[in-house]
Structure 1
C-alpha cells in the first residue's frame, strides 16, 4: 500500500503533502477516475478533467507521471527531432503534433537535430537511453546505424515531411519530387523558359530541385542557374540570391525559390531594382507561409497542410504505442499548387 501511494505523487513521501485521496475528496470523484483523467485524458469527459484540474489546483497535488509510466511501462514522452526551431516551415507541424499528443495524455520532448545526419544519429541515440514511448523524425534520410538502433529497440517511429514506400516504421508526408514536377509544369505552361533558382541547402529542397529539372528536361532545358543559400532560408538571403543571379549577366523570366521567405526576398530586391513582378520577372515560392497570400504581389507557391502532418503523426504513433490497429502506416497528405500574382 505504501509503495502504491509513493507512485501517485512526487510529494507524497513528505509528511503533509497532498495526496490523490485529497484530490478525490475535493473533486468528489473516485481516485480511479482521477488517475484515468491524468493518464488517459482522451478516455474522460472534458467536464471531469476540469473538475480534476480544479481540485489539483486547490490541493497543490503534484502527479508523479514518471512513476505512473513505470507502472504501465510507459514514459508518456514522445521525442521529436526537427532540424531547426527557427524554420517557419516546421512550426505549425510541431504545434499541431504537441497539441494532439496532449489530447492522448502524452508530452513532447522537442530536440534540435540540425541538418547533418550524424548530428541526428548522436541526438536520437542519447534520447533512446531515456526510454521514450515513441519518436518522430523529420525526413527519411538517416544514418544506417540510427536505423539499426531504432529497429533493434522496437520503439514506434514516425517520419514526417517526406515520402517513401519503405519507412523505418510509419510515415506522414508528401512527395517533394512531385512538388518539383508540378512547379515545372505550371511555369512551363505559363510560357516561362529562362529560369534561375535561389535554393536552400537541405536535402528535401534538393529533391524538389531534381523534380523541377526532370520536369523541364523534355522541353530542352538541361540546367538551371542556381544560387545556394544556407538554412534557415530568410528574406535577406532571397535578396542576395537575386543580386548574385543578376551579376551572372544572364537573362531570366522566372526565379524559382525553395521557400516563400526566399521568394519574398527576391520580390523585394526586384522592386528595388525597378523590375516588375510578374510583368518582367515571375517568382515562385514553396510552403504557403502565412504572409504568402497577403504580399503585393501575392506569392505563387505550394501549399502543404502542415497541421495535418503533425496531427496525423500523433494519431498513428499513439495508436501503435497503445496497441490499437493502424490502418495505414504511410500517410500522404499531398499538396496544392497555389497560383497567385507573382507567377
Structure 2
C-alpha cells in the first residue's frame, strides 16, 4: 500500500523546514504570503492533507460540536442541522452528527462516544434522556443545549418550544370553525416523546374548551408515517364515525389520513377537517393543502449555533431561547 505524504515530504519539496510547513497551515503570521502559497501548492501537488488532530490535542481543542438528531430523513431535523452547520462553520467549527433513530439508549451510546472525542459543546434533540445520559451531560464540562423541546428540568441550556402548548393553536382554530368532535392521531409511541407531548397538549386544550378529549387513535412509531396515518384514519373512521376534525401528530401522518379520506369519498374539510404538524413541503402541495404548525426548524438551528458561540466566549451566559411556532392555515380546515 502506498503511504500517504507527510509534512516532511512537503517541507523537502518546498525547500523549507517542517516547522514552517506547520505554521503555514495554521495561518501563523510569521509565514509570509508567498511562502505560504508555495507550501500549500506543494501540498496540493503531493496530495497532502494537514492533520489538525495533533495540533488540537496540544491546544486542548477539538473544534467540533457534537449533535444528535432522531431522524436523518426528516426534513425539519435536516433544516436544523443545515442552519447549525452553516452558522458554526463560519466560526471555524464543524458538526459531528449522531443519529439516534428515536432510541434513548442509542442516544446514550452516542453521547458516551462523543465525550471521548472532547467536543466543544453538545447539542441534543429533545429533553428526554436516560439517567446515565443525563449524568454524562451534566458532567461533560462543555455547554449542553437541548433543542426542539422545553424540558421541565433542563440539563443546561434550551432552544425550543413546548410541543404541548403548541396544540392550543390548532385546537383553538378548529373550535373557532365550529368543530367540536375533534380527534387526535398519533403520539402513542414511547420513542416519540415530542409526539406524546402534542397528544397531551391536545387533551388539555380540549378540556379547556369543555370538550371530550377521548378520541385518540395511535399511529405507531414515527417510521413510515404516511402509511400509518392512512391506517390510523381508517381505524378512526370506524371507531369514531361522528368525528368532524382530526389533529395529526405530523404532516406526514396527516397526508396519510387525507389520502384515506379520498379513497373513501369523504370530503375534506366539508365532512372532516384535518390538521398536521411540521410545515413540510407536502402540506403545501397536497389536495387540499394541509393546515399545519411551522416549528421554525431553521430558526432552532441558527439560535442553537449562536448560543454555542456565545457560551464558548463566556461560560457565565445561562440562556434559554424560546422559539414561537406559527399556525399556517390551509384548505384542509377552512
TM-score, reference length from structure 2: 0.84
Q: Does 1:276 align with 2:267?
A: yes
Aligned partner (choices 68, 74, 88) of residue 75 of structure 2: 88
Aligned partner (choices 215, 219, 232) of residue 225 of structure 1: 215
Partner of 2:34: none
The Cα offsets for residues 38-63 of structure 1, whole Å up to 9 and x where unpaired, read as: xxxxxxxxxxxx99988864563412
Q: Does 1:12 align with 2:6?
A: yes
The Cα offsets for residues 254-282 of structure 1, whole Å up to 9 and x where unpaired, read as: 11101111111111111111111111110
Partner of 1:316: 307
Partner of 1:98: 85
Partner of 2:331: 341
Aligned residues: 317
How far is 1:31 from its partner? 7.4
Aligned partner (choices 262, 277, 280) of residue 289 of structure 1: 280
Partner of 1:259: 250
Give 3-state SS (helix, strand or coil) of 2:142's partner: coil
Give 3-state SS (helix, strand or coil) of 1:318's partner: helix
Stretches of structure 1 lacking an aligned partner (at least 5 in a row): 1-9, 25-29, 38-49
Give 3-state SS (helix, strand or coil) of 1:208's partner: helix
The Cα offsets for residues 174-233 of structure 1, whole Å up to 9 and x where unpaired, read as: 121221122211111111111222214211111111111111113332323222121135
Stretches of structure 2 lacking an aligned partner (at least 5 in a row): 29-36
Structure 2: how far apart are the matches of 1:237 and 1:297?
20
Q: Is the 8 A contact 2:14 2:38 kept in 1?
A: no
Structure 2: how far apart are the matches of 1:86 and 1:51?
43
Partner of 1:46: none
Q: Is the 8 A contact 2:245 2:273 kept in 1?
A: yes
Give 3-state SS (helix, strand or coil) of 1:293's partner: helix
Partner of 1:35: 26
Taking a change above 3 Å as real, the CA distance of residues 110 and 20 of structure 1, as seen in their structure-2 partners, is farther
Taking a change above 3 Å as real, the CA distance of residues 225 and 66 of structure 1, as seen in their structure-2 partners, is same
Q: Does 1:122 align with 2:113?
A: no
TM-score, reference length from structure 1: 0.82
